[in-house]
Amino acid sequence: MNSSGDREVLLIVHPDRESTTGAARDVAIRLAAAGIRLRVVDDEVRRLIEPPGGHLPCTVVTSSDEPAAGTELVFVLGGDGTLLRAAEVARPAGVPVLGVNLGRVGFLTEADYDALGETVDRVVERRYRIEERMTVDVTVTHGDVVTADTWALNEASIEKSSRERILDALVEVDGRPVSSFGCDGVLCSTPTGSTAYAFSAGGPVVWPDVEALLVVPSNAHAMFSRPLVVSRDSVITVDVDPHGSSAVLTCDGLRHFDLERGSRIRVVAGAVPVRLARLWEGPFTDRLVHKFSLPVTSWRERQARLS
């Protein structure tokens, strides 16, 4: 971590939200007042945070391969999609990501917009802890040729490339076939991703400190198409039928790769985690209830209040 006199934070914002301008400028002014330099990834963000008639110490790193390298923190204003984009630049540099939610659910973000001031204060005072989240490494081969080599924090999704077609897939775990079926897709998820796309596809919610991988078929035409929870050390492979239709691999909704017929997708626990900055103590259960607005009052308690 940088010394107190040489601190720098990379600011990443969602460019299309009306609330972004005020929030980004507020964060920039507060950090600058504390002697913390800002780094941004393009001139548009720099113009967004500049106060009228004023100037903030800010570095634009448009051409850097690792824009987060050397910073203390990546500060994100937006929803989970913005945070996932921020994780792309933070992960190679080993820099933690802190998200303030300007979207809807914002499951990965740490604070809501109404706590923005307190969030910045905690950053200034270094009152946050670091939590490492498991990722997955994904390799695609076609025959003996590697056609893609990528990663994901939430999930790697293998899906049919045409709405009218069915994806014929064979799922294997640790070199042994488990099931083959026609489907819309197969999701290979981390515990972090269990509350994202995999959740929508009917997968289980897995606590983030559980060391496991998930395999979740999407709209599978098969008697056995249940979600699987396998060991962190397992190797998951999904084979695309060489006589079926082509497919597409999408990682975290950001990185897309066309899959030829006969492609094999190999998914394993990632070698490099994503580091998240956490401000508030408390169990994951409370976060789950809060983010999904889950009812936690029994029908007996509700009846007692009405009587």
Which has the minimum average pLDDT: 186-190, 222-226, 253-257?
Answer: 222-226
Report the SS3 class of residue 53: coil
Provide the pLDDT for residue 164.
82
How would residue 222 be classed by pLDDT, with cut points 50, 70 and 90?
Answer: confident
Average pLDDT score over the chain: 89
Q: Domain tally for the chain?
A: 2
Same domain flag for 19 and 102: yes
Same domain flag for 75 and 183: no
pLDDT tens readout for residues 23-50: 888 898 899 899 999 898 877 777 777 7
Same domain flag for 108 and 212: no
Provide the pLDDT for residue 171.
97
| Residue 80 bears catalytic tag | yes
Is 304 part of a structural domain of the chain? Answer: no
Q: Is the pLDDT of residue 225 over 90?
A: no
Provide the pLDDT for residue 304.
63
Catalytic one among 80, 114, 149, 239?
A: 80
* Portion of the chain with pLDDT greater than 90, in percent: 64
Same domain flag for 249 and 279: no
Spell out where the chain has E strands. Answer: 8-13, 37-40, 58-60, 73-78, 97-101, 111-112, 129-133, 136-142, 145-152, 155-160, 167-173, 176-183, 185-189, 212-218, 228-231, 236-240, 247-251, 255-259, 264-269, 274-278
Which has the minimum average pLDDT: 56-65, 80-89, 148-157, 277-286?
Answer: 56-65
Provide the pLDDT for residue 186.
97
Same domain flag for 153 and 258: yes
Same domain flag for 92 and 175: no
Provide the pLDDT for residue 1.
46
**By residue range, what is the domain housing residue 54?**
8-133+274-292
Which has the minimum average pLDDT: 53-62, 187-196, 256-265?
Answer: 53-62
Same domain flag for 91 and 192: no
Provide the pLDDT for residue 301.
66
Q: Is the pLDDT of residue 216 over 70?
A: yes
Same domain flag for 109 and 195: no
pLDDT tens readout for residues 278-290: 998 888 998 889 8
